[in-house]
Copies of this chain bind each other. A is one copy, B any other.
Amino acid sequence: MELERAKRKIIEAHTIAISGHINPDGDSIGSLLALGLALKKLGKKIYMVSADGVPKLYRNLPGAARIRKKVPFPVDLAITVDCSNKEILGDTYAMFRKSKDILEIDHHEFRRPFGTIQVVDHKAAAVGELIYLLLKKLRIGIGARIGQNLLTSLVVETNSFRLPNVRAFTFRMCADLMRRGVDFYKLVDMVYWSKSNESAILTGICLSRCVFLKHGRLAWSIIKRRDFRKVGGKDEDVDAAADEIRSIKGVKIAVLFREKNKKLLRVSLRSKDNLNVASIAETFGGGGHFDVAGCSIPNSKKTITKLLSLAKKSL
Residues of chain A at the chain B interface (Cβ within 8 Å): 155, 160-164, 166-172, 174-176, 178-179, 184-185, 188-189, 192-197, 200-201, 203-210, 212, 216, 219, 244-250, 272
Known: A160-B162, A162-B188, A208-B205. A249 touches B178 (CB 8 A): no
Contact indicator A175/B184 (Cβ below 8 Å): no
Given contacts A160-B160, A160-B162, A194-B249, 15 further A-B contacts (CB under 8 A): A155-B161, A161-B161, A163-B188, A164-B184, A175-B175, A193-B249, A195-B249, A200-B207, A200-B244, A201-B210, A204-B204, A204-B207, A204-B208, A205-B207, A207-B208
Q: Nearest B residue to A227 by beta-carbon distance?
A: B208
This chain: copies in complex:
2
| Bound CA span A210–B179, Å | 38
Known: A162-B160, A178-B168. A200 touches B192 (CB 8 A): no
Shortest distance in angstroms between A213's beta carbon and chain B's nearest beta carbon? 11
| Bound CA span A178–B185, Å | 23
**For chain A, what secondary structure do more than half of its interface residues adopt (helix, strand, loop), or is it mixed?**
helix
Chain B residues in 8 Å Cβ range of A272: 189, 193
| Bound CA span A219–B188, Å | 20
Which of A160, A176, A194 counts the most chain B CB atoms within 10 A? A160
Q: Nearest B residue to A178 by beta-carbon distance?
A: B168
| Bound CA span A207–B175, Å | 34
Contact indicator A195/B162 (Cβ below 8 Å): no
Q: 18 pairs across A/B with beta carbons < 8 Å?
A: A160-B161, A160-B162, A161-B161, A164-B185, A164-B188, A166-B184, A168-B175, A171-B171, A172-B172, A193-B248, A193-B272, A195-B249, A197-B216, A200-B210, A200-B245, A201-B207, A204-B208, A205-B208
Contact indicator A188/B161 (Cβ below 8 Å): yes
Q: Nearest B residue to A199 by beta-carbon distance?
A: B248
Q: Nearest B residue to A161 by beta-carbon distance?
A: B161
| Bound CA span A192–B189, Å | 19
Shortest distance in angstroms between A23's beta carbon and chain B's nearest beta carbon? 21
Shortest distance in angstroms between A245's beta carbon and chain B's nearest beta carbon? 7
| Bound CA span A245–B200, Å | 8
Contact indicator A195/B248 (Cβ below 8 Å): yes
Chain B residues in 8 Å Cβ range of A166: 178, 184-185
Chain B residues in 8 Å Cβ range of A193: 162, 246-249, 272
Known: A161-B160, A168-B179, A201-B210. A192 touches B248 (CB 8 A): no
